[in-house]
Structure formats: structure tokens, C-alpha cells
A and B are shown apart, each in its own frame.
Chain A
Amino acid sequence: MTPGAWLYMLIVWAVITAVNIYCFVRIFSKKH
């Protein structure tokens, strides 16, 4: 795999993981 393809894959993975972390941190940090 070319460096560009690795970068492409890692960026997509990072964005998806970041959105997950953002959502669940906000959900669990909210006082019920």
C-alpha cells in the first residue's frame, strides 16, 4: 500500500473514532 493510501485510511479511521469519542464523552458527561 502506498504512503498516500495509508494516510487516507488512517485519516478516515481517525475521523470516525473522533466522532465516536466526541459523542460518547458528551453522553456520559451529562448528568442525569
Chain B
Amino acid sequence: MAELARDDRWASRFGLIMAMAGNAVGLGNFLRFPGKAALYGGAFMVPYLLSLLLLGVPLMWVEWTIGRHGGGYGHGSTPGMFHRLWKHPVSKYLGIFGVLLPAMIGIYYIYIESWSLGYAYETIIGSYWGRTSDESMAEVFTSYLGLGKGMISFAPKSYLFFVITLGINVLICARGIEKGIEIVAKYAMPTLIIVGIVLAVRVLTLSPVEGRTVGDGLARIWMIDWSALRNPSMWIDAAGQVFFTLSLGFGMVHTYASYVAKNEDVTLNALATCSTNEFVEVILGGTIAVPAALIFFGSAQTDEIVKGGTFHIAFHSLPVIFQQLPAGQFFGTLWFVLLFLAGLTSSMAMFTPLLLFLKDELRMDKRKVIVAISAGTFLLMQPVVLFMNQGVMDELDFWAGTFFLVLFAAIESVIFAWIFGMKKGWQEMHLGADLQVPRIFYYIIGFVTPVFAIALLGWWVYDGLWAKLMMHGVKPENIPYLWIARAIIVMGWLALAWGVWYAWRTHPKFFEENQQDEPGESLP
């Protein structure tokens, strides 16, 4: 890889793609996707694949292009990148979302990731062996997180695994792109895929249980119920799933791509990122959890499991199944290692945009930034861990992990296609390209993708934003805790807004138009 005028780089193209794919592959690939697909039946794949073509892949190309373009000017985060696309005072403030959201998501995502590590350990030592019903495993889960002990949720063991997981993430982030993220991704992603294949093959070779075969299990995801295509909720869920599974609107793709030199490909790399994620999601993710649950529990109970949410199937139901399999401890451990690796390859990048923003734009010392981010993250994670019963995590997930992601993606697609301009954008995208993107995507990125993203956002606003904002249905005693979650987001945004204002005021020359501004001529 060619060197840039930056203090870090990708050492290899394979490492870059594995890191990008790892960023996309997360817990949702193995839990959320099969859950949604099973909920709607095989019809789900129709809007899913359509959304992938019209929203997912085009936005992936856009984010890689914005990242590389901004990186050419020395920007590793979206405030600077947006400033280079749109010379308007507001653009850099809109870019704040690309720094804020991954950090806010990291605050709760790392905690969930730590459960996988903890359960991998519990499976190895067999601590829950003998708990062979869904209900008893639910008790194990509640006890593991310390949820049943009054106002504060605390359990020493889960807290220990949370600290270990946070430490692993901080260590990787501190070692930077080449020596941290890339090395981990190069080993973790192939390992994850191999473990996923082993588990998928195990499920595909399961013997029938009470007459229920693996075909019955797969039918739940692949048998098309045509009448479901008339259900608007399915279309929204499918579009949302494509969005989240590719980690679009997070700001992390931009940061990774900022280390790609201007004469190096983004089009083929971005397509490889999407295809790797889809392999893991559709082929592996769709073959493990739901088919196994259907074979062992039957259709009616699987319905309940799927409706119970992603944690239910991962931490209650599958451990019950593993206990009934030969070598179940081995396969159970693999399952939780798989989830941990999927989580780690996503979470290890979540604080990188913030790190680069503080280091590049505010000229802060890297060591101090890492200490500050580690301490800040640890402190902000306390409400998530200790007040889980009161819904702090769910509140953060709705705003930072759902609504603002779609808002940010709608903003970036509009800035890229309508303000920066499709002609310049298309030219920028194809600099050093190894893949000529079919011309039809010029029009899709220019019109369909922004409209699709805005429509998705509009539907969510219409469908329940007001109720969520006004906390309808929330227990009165939980309301102060939800305000804690909202305060974290608002304070984070305000702090970053001050940082942007300060950076542009104190280092104006860095942001001036003192270099060539044509596409492809943006290296400092």
C-alpha cells in the first residue's frame, strides 16, 4: 500500500478488507438477521436484497469515497471530511454524528460483547450444564447480569468480563491501524468464518427431532409467504437490517477509508466488504440459530423465541440446544467465541473516529487522548451496566444505534450526491478503481439512495418517534434513567461541537482551500 502523509496506514489490502468486513460483521449477523428473517418468513429476503442493491452497496461506495477523499486532506473523521465536500459552516457540525455515534454505540456494544466472552468461559467450565429448559437458562442469564437484585444490576463475574473486554478494545485501539486493528482483523475474520462454517455444517447435519428436520428449520427463513410482501413493516425492517449489518452511517467506514491513498481502489474493496458481510450474514447467520431452534423447540416455541429478541435466542435457547448435542460443550464454546469475535471486530473501531478527531483536528497528544477515551468510556459505561433494568441501554440503542444512524446516512448521501455533486463524486469514486461500477449506479446513488434513506427516516419519524421522544409507555420510575442516556448523547454532541468550533478557529489554515480541490488531486 502506498504511504500517506499520516502517522499510520494499512499494511496490506487484505488487512484493510478484513478490517472493513469485520467492522460490518457483528452480533446482528448471527442474531438480528435470522430473527427478522424468521419473523417474516422467506418473503423478507425480497426487500432485503432489494435494499442491499439500492441502499447498502451504493452507500458503502459513497462512504469509502468520502473517507478516502477526506483522508487525502489529512482528515480521519467526518467533520473534516464533510467540510471538504461542502464549503458551508454547517457541514462540519453535521459531521459530528460520525464521531459521536460510534463512541455512543461502543458504550453499550462492548458490554454486550463481554457477555459472549463470559458465556464462552461459562460454557468451557460447564457452569450452566444441566439447565435444560429455556426458562432455567433465562434465570442463568438474569443471575449472570445481576438483574434480579433490586435497582442496581451488578454481578462481579459479568463486571470482570466487561472490564476485560473493554481492556482488549482499548489495547487494540491504542496500537493503531496497522499494528492493532489490522492484525486483529486479519486473524479474527478468517477464524470467525471458519467457526461459522463449522457451526453451520453442524446444524445442517442435525438428526431430526420429533420429525422436525433441518429442511423445516431452513424453511422458516426461505419459504416465501407472498402475502407478507404487502406488510410495510417488513420492508422497513429489511431496509433497516441492511443498514445496520453493513455498519452504514456509523462514521467508521469513513475513518478506515481515510487511510487509503488516492490512487488506490475503493470500488472493488467496498464490494468485497459487502459480499463478505453478506456471506457471513445470509449463508452462515441464516443457517445457525433459527434452524437449530426450530428443530429442537418446534414452530410455536420458535415464534416466542424470535419475538423474545436477539439476546433470548443467543443466551437462553441455543445453550439449551448445545446441552443436547454430542460434544455440545465444544460447539457451545464455538458459538460464544463466534459472537465475541463478531462483536470485537466491530467494537475495536468504534472509538477510532473520536481518537482521530481529537488527535488530528484538535492536535492533542495520542497518549493523552487514549487515556482520556479509556477513562471516559469506563465512566460512561457505568450507567449502562448498573442501570440495565431501567432501560438505559435500550434508550442509547434507539437514539445512537438506530435513529441518528439513519439520519446521518441520509445527510451524507445528500451531501455527496446533491451538494458535492454526482459528476465529481463519480469521478472521485473511480480514481484508481479496479472495478468500473455499472453506470446505472450513477443514477441510483444520485437519486434513489438519498430518497430511500430520507424515506426510511421519514417513516421512523412518522411511525413512533414522538411516542419514543415523550417516553410513552415508560414506567415513571425509569424516566430519570432514560434522561441519563439522553444527557450522555446531548453532552457528547455539545462537547464535540465545541471541539469543532475550537479546531476551526485555532487552526484555520489547516481547513483553508490552500490545496488543489479537484477530485483526485486532494493529497496534501
Contacts and interface: CB of A to CB of B under 8 A. Distances in A.
A30 B269 CA distance: 13
A26 B215 CA distance: 35
Contact of B434 (A12, A16, A20, A27): A27
A5 B282 contact: no
Given A1-B218, A23-B271, A23-B272, A13 B283 contact: yes
Nearest to A7: B222
Contacts of B216: 1
A2 B17 CA distance: 37
A2 to B, nearest CB: 7
A23 B259 CA distance: 21
Contacts of B272: 20, 23-24, 27
Contacts of A2: 219, 223
A8 B283 contact: no
Give the most central of A12, A13, A28: most B CB within 10 Å: A12
Interface string B212-229: 000110110111100000
Contacts, number: 60
A1 B222 contact: yes
B13 A13 contact: no
Interface string B30-66: 0000000000001001000100000000000000000
Nearest to A23: B272
Contacts of B42: 5, 8
A22 to B, nearest CB: 8
Interface stretch (B112-120, B273-281, B420-428): B273-281
Interface of A: 1-2, 5-6, 8-9, 12-13, 16-17, 19-20, 23-24, 26-28, 30, 32
Given A20-B275, A23-B272, 15 more contacts: A1-B215, A1-B216, A1-B218, A2-B219, A5-B223, A5-B224, A6-B222, A8-B42, A8-B45, A9-B222, A16-B275, A16-B278, A16-B283, A24-B272, A27-B17
Closest 8 CB pairs of A and B: A23-B272, A1-B219, A1-B215, A9-B222, A19-B275, A20-B275, A5-B222, A5-B223
